């Protein structure tokens, strides 16, 4: 999946809105790539910045305000129902 101007823009928007801290820029980029390319699930073991119930709604709001649907962010265990 390509990193293009849309990905960079959404990544910056996630950071600018302080949904994710600057030190999590790579994580913001993962969310942006997934949202822009229509990925339904973003699997991660990163429970600090990504698979975190407290950030799911704010990330979704920022994605939606940019015209994208936020992927469901979860751990592999959550996806498999473990």
Mean per-residue pLDDT, 49-76: 92
Q: Which has the higher per-residue pLDDT, 33 or 79?
A: 33
Task: Please determine, for residue 79, whether its predicted confidence score (pLDDT) is greater than 80.
Answer: yes
Q: Where are the beta strands (DSSP E) in the chain?
A: 41-43, 72-74
Q: Which domain holds residue 40?
A: 5-80
Tell me the percentage of the chain whose pLDDT exceeds 70. 98
- Counted domains in the chain: 1
53 CB-near residues (< 8 Å, 6+ apart): none
pTM, two decimal places: 0.89
Q: What's the mean per-residue pLDDT of the chain?
A: 92
CA 25 to chain centre: 10
DSSP three-state, residue 44: coil
Task: Count the alpha carbons within 13 Å of 18 in the hemisphere toward its beta carbon.
Answer: 0
Q: Which two tokens stand for residue 57?
A: 């709604």
Convert the pLDDT of each residue in 13-48 to its tens digit.
Answer: 999 999 999 999 999 999 999 999 999 999 999 888
């Amino acid at each position: 999946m390509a990193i293009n101007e849309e990905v960079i823009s959404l990544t910056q928007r996630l950071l600018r809105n302080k949904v994710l801290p600057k030190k999590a820029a790579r994580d913001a980029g993962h969310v942006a790539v997934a949202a822009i390319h229509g990925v339904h699930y973003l699997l991660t073991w990163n429970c600090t910045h990504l698979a975190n119930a407290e950030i799911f709604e704010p990330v979704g709001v920022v994605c939606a305000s940019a015209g994208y649907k936020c992927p469901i962010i979860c751990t592999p265990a959550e996806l498999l129902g473990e």
